[in-house]
């Protein structure tokens, strides 16, 4: 139920849209005298299968999918442009944000998509048994993190931005059922080998920088 489900094998498209597009932006930024770039990376994909939880920023990066590989590649290019052109940067490795204005007909954002499908009495398709867990947090917290980083001098180049708690797809279904009083109609499909089983980010570094995030799904609904 996310963008990565159809980009696993579309490496050329991923590189063209994500990596090449960002390189063009970085080159223009240098020419125009831009001082700092704040990049939205993917804390849910760049680390790959975690060796321990929660995942700190120092954890090894070994993405399993094309989307994650392109995000990590861009991070490396940011470091390169910093060395070559003194272009400052901060990377926000975001978990899985949810919130207002997410499209219910999208292939991204399982929280909103699942809720939308239930309210429309549509079947919710889930890859695997629903145990895949991600670190969901409210979109306004991500916006606040961007503002905080833009307006301040950061001590670190990389920050995890998330709720600091892993919730499975089945957990989300349970919250929807509790809040709406409606039983979701679910179709479980064969799992995907490139899905990371669980992702939960260590957000202590962000908290030290006065960035806080919430992961209270019920209040959003």
Distances (CA, A) of 45 to 27, 129, 209: 26, 20, 23
Q: Which two tokens stand for residue 17?
A: 């849209």
Other CB atoms within 10 Å distance of the CB of residue 17: 13
Three-class secondary structure of residue 69 per DSSP:
helix
Report the DSSP pairing between strands 133-138 and 166-168: antiparallel
Cα dihedral 159, 162, 164, 168 sign: negative
Question: Could you give the CA distance from residue 143 to residue 131 in angstroms, rounded to a whole number?
Answer: 29
- What is the DSSP-derived secondary structure letter of residue 160? E
Report the DSSP pairing between strands 133-138 and 36-42: unpaired
Question: Catalytic residues, which ones?
Answer: 67
């Amino acid at each position: 139920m996310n963008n990565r489900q159809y980009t696993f094998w579309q490496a050329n498209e991923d590189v063209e849209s994500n990596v090449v597009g960002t390189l063009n932006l970085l080159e223009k930024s240098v020419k125009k005298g831009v001082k700092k770039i704040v990049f939205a990376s993917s804390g849910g994909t760049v680390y790959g299968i975690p060796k321990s939880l929660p995942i700190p920023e120092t954890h090894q990066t070994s993405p399993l999918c094309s989307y994650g590989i392109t995000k990590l590649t861009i991070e490396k290019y940011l470091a390169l442009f910093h060395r070559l052109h003194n272009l400052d940067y901060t990377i926000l490795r975001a978990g899985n944000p949810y919130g207002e204005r997410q499209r219910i007909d999208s292939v991204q954002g399982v929280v909103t998509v699942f809720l939308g499908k239930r309210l429309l009495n549509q079947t919710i398709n889930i890859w695997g048994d629903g145990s895949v867990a991600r670190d969901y947090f409210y979109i306004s917290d991500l916006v606040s993190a961007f503002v905080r980083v833009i307006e301040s001098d950061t001590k670190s180049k990389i920050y995890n931005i998330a709720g600091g708690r892993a919730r499975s797809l089945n957990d989300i279904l349970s919250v929807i059922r509790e809040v709406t009083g409606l039983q979701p109609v679910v179709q479980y499909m064969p799992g995907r080998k490139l899905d990371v089983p669980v992702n939960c980010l260590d957000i202590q570094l962000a908290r030290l920088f006065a960035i806080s995030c919430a992961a209270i799904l019920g209040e959003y609904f």
